[in-house]
Structure 1
Amino acid sequence: MFGIKRPKSIDDKTWEKYQEDVTAKVLLLEKQGWPIESIKEFGKYFKEMLGRKGQSSNMSEIVSSCYSDTQIVGTKVFDNMWYAWKADRISASESKKKLSGLMKITGMDKLDEKSSADQLRAVADKINKKMKPDDKFWGSLAGTVEKAYYPNGMKGDLGKQLHLFRYVISYQQAKYIVDNYKGRTDEEKLINYIVKEKIWNWTADESARLHQKLYTNSQNTIIYPNGHSNANGGVNLKVVTNTRFRSEFIIIGDGKFLALLDKDATQDAKANCSSFNYARQNDYIHQVLDVNPAGENYNYEHQFREEARYIHDKYGNRIIDTNTGKEKIFAAPKLSNMNQYENNVNKFQKKFKGRVLS
């Protein structure tokens, strides 16, 4: 199989075991939906690894190791298999098959809006820890999603899984920055990433309105989610890379990222967190692929995130506004009200850009 000749040093029993192991792994890949073109890439990778380690090595162990590599997004063999599958150039239905395979590999196919943060963090472990936010795979994934779901919308279980996966991607990307670059704060580490890696397609000018959720009571007193920072004017900054849009980093005034799946995520982090965008700019495609699935018409959002948007009493119960009879909920300011934050937002943006370009 895979054009590998039996080494003279291997006996019949060992050779049969190797063939059984390879056949079993190929069947598993087929079950995940990989086409023959991709499985051939698995074979090439196995031959390469066998050549490196020598044919006197334990072939079954090499088969197992190579298969494990196919189950991590962003490894060499995964990338080769992914790009061998030309679904994004074929049809919406074939693109959905490809995306379904990705969800099976990551384990997202078993999760939904009721899943916990711990379960979603486990999915992030299925992404290569060395994958940068600007890795070309993310653009390929986004293009495949667009082919599969635009303009009809992110409907069905697969659409929901892909929507929830946006927060996993964003968590992995933020963690990559935090774990791999120097700085006293997450903001400084992001600056060092942009500078060191010569990232040119970034901007701090995208609107962060949806990441400034707050509550104004009947006395016009503003209440912020727990964990809110008053530094830098009390506003949150949005920095995006990857076509200046796809990879989001939401930064609070004291320089920390707001990521939904952080183990120490505050209420502010859950309500105002970053997410990966499948669209490449703020247009109608963005509405269809990224914005609408987070709205009430879909109800795809994580339940633990949705709960964080409400104001609770000390017993954890949602508080009712006696004037309106409605539950108190943190919401983004209206566009017409953003002018009162404009000065502080501009200062934060200018400060960040100045530090990158200095």
Structure 2
Amino acid sequence: MPPIIWDDAAQRLLSKEIIKKTRRRSLKEAREIEQQILQESRLVGSSIYTKMFQASKQEPKEKLALLLGQLGAQMEEGTLQLLGPYQIDANMPPHGEFLRLLAKTVQQAYSGKVLDDPQVHQLRMYLDRHNITYIRQLFGGQGITDEAALSAYVRASKKSGGLGGQKLIAERARFHNKYQHNYQPGGENRKRLTPDFHGEFILDENGHFVSQWNVLEFDSAGKLITDFDYYRKRCGTYTQWHSFQQQILNGESFNYADRNDLVHRRLDILPPGQLDHPLRKEIAKEWKNPANKVEYHWKKADKQKDGYSQRDLIKKRAGWLSIFLLIIGIAKRNLFRHR
């Protein structure tokens, strides 16, 4: 297992934080505060953990190995298992600072390269699980759809764990509308992203999250089950099995890239075919992605304002700029012809 010990720079920061918070406290209070800080330092994504990760002088790939070691990452029959002792902080929001820091670290570690480490790749699905659980537990509840909870997350203040009114990015969800035989238009899944592009949520036509975490199970030892035969036997009917596969294949996928570009292709789009867990790889053999603009379209229903998301403003500005430059170019050519 990779080492889980922080380097000197990170440990110095931890010591300074403890000294700062325990100054002028009684011995009893100081010990309690110290224990609290040490416990929080074992929660990936907590404030102190994020500061330590940022302060560390290790190289990007060493930082990733450190994180995976802390989470007890092990590959077992093609599936990443996280066995502790560190846990992902339940209070870290999907737009959390650590997630941006992690994404930047992966970008640096695989600069100009396709991500080829199955542990780093499959870590994304555990971040997905964290994000949808966060939305459901903090903003959901009985009678509240996932979409309503997502909307509440957008409206909630940053102090209470929300986005403070900053809207999600609405993007096309072509890769999240896979089909087996004949593509049936209508009722497509929709994709929403956190403003930093990293956190991703897929919604069906009824406002429910589409996610492999709706159907995957853990065994008695707390290990994720990804055995094909296990789930095939549990899904007794064709309808149950078909629905199960849709959840596995069409769900969300945390992005290490900052936008839909070549980095996104190298880190997020290309790796799944080779590095996904065996269940998803086996099921994917019989499913296809709808052809863009032929089968899959940016539907009117998906363009409608929902109050909590919007198209990528950078793309929109770039689009209008391209049109403006095109018009200027045509005008210049016409002016030149008439001289």
Query: Scaled by the length of structure 1, what TM-score is found?
Result: 0.68
Distance 1:234 1:185 in 2: 17
Aligned partners of 2:76 and 2:113: how far apart in 1? 21
Q: Quick one: distance in 1 between partners of 2:202 and 2:95?
A: 16
Deviation of 1:180 (Å) = 0.7
- Aligned CA RMSD, in angstroms, stands at 3.1
SS for the counterpart of 2:308 is: helix
- Picking from 141, 147, 153, the partner of 1:187 is 147
SS in 2 for 1:238: strand
Q: What is the SS of the residue equivalent to 1:111? A: strand
Instruction: Tell me what 1:271 maps to.
Output: 249
1:159-193 CA deviation, whole Å, 9 max, x = no partner?
22111011111111111111111472001111111
CA distance in 2: counterparts of 1:294 and 1:81, whole angstroms: 30
The residue aligned with 2:300 is: 346
Q: Is the 8 A contact 2:191 2:203 kept in 1?
A: yes
SS class of match (1:67): helix
Tell me the secondary structure at the aligned position of residue 32 of structure 1.
coil
* Aligned 8 A contact 1:123 1:168 in 2: no
Give yes or no for the alignment of 1:307 onto 2:282.
Answer: yes
Q: Distance in 2 between matches of 1:190 and 1:52?
A: 43
Alpha carbons of structure 1 residues 240 and 35: separation in structure 2 relative to 1, 3 Å: same
Q: Is the 8 A contact 1:113 1:301 kept in 2?
A: no
Quote the offset at 1:213 in angstroms: 0.6
DSSP-derived class of the 2:252 partner: coil
CA contact (8 A) 2:50 2:97 kept: no
Match of 1:101 in 2: 66
Structure 2 residue 34 is matched with structure 1 residue 68: no
Q: Is the 8 A contact 1:209 1:332 kept in 2?
A: yes
The 8 Å contact of residues 278 and 286 in structure 1, kept in 2 or not, is answered as: yes
Change (3 A) 1:56 1:356: closer
Please tell me whether residue 283 in structure 1 is matched to residue 261 in structure 2: yes
Distance 1:113 1:255 in 2: 34
Give, in angstroms, the shift of residue 274 of structure 1.
Answer: 0.6
| 1:37-63: CA deviation from partner (whole Å, max 9, x where unpaired) | 10012223333565587314695x876
Higher-helix-fraction structure: 1
Counterpart Cα distance in 2 of 1:263 and 1:58: 45
Q: CA deviation at 1:96?
A: 0.7
**Amino acid paired to 2:121:** H
Which residue in the other structure is 2:327 paired with?
Answer: none
Describe the superposition over 1:7-59 as per-residue Cα deviations: whole angstroms up to 9, x where unpaired: xxxxxxxxxxxxxxxxxxxxxxx942522110012223333565587314695
Percent identical pairs in the alignment equals 28
- Is 1:198 aligned to 2:164, yes or no? yes
Total equivalences in the alignment: 275
Which structure dedicates a bigger proportion of its chain to strand? 2
Q: Trace 1:45-124 onto structure 2 (pairs within 5 A).
A: 45-48=17-20, 50-51=22-23, 54-56=26-28, 59=31, 66-86=37-57, 94-108=59-73, 110-111=74-75, 114-115=78-79, 119=81
User: Residue in 2 aligned with 1:255?
Assistant: 207
Deviation for aligned residue 1:113: 6.1
Determine the structure 1 residue equivalent to 2:101. 140
Segments of 5+ residues of structure 1 without an aligned counterpart are: 1-29, 88-93, 224-229, 311-328
Q: Write the distance in 1 (CA, Å) between the matches of 2:57 and 2:172.
A: 34
Match of 1:172 in 2: 130
Please state whether the residue corresponding to 2:79 is helix, strand or coil.
coil
Contact map agreement 1:271 1:306 (CA 8 A) in 2:
no
Instruction: Provide closer, same or farther for how the CA distance between residues 308 and 48 of structure 1 changes in structure 2, counting only shifts above 3 A.
Output: farther
Deviation at 1:72, TM superposition (A): 1.1
Unaligned runs of 5+ in 2: 157-162, 218-243, 310-339
The alpha-carbon deviation at position 148 of structure 1 amounts to 0.8
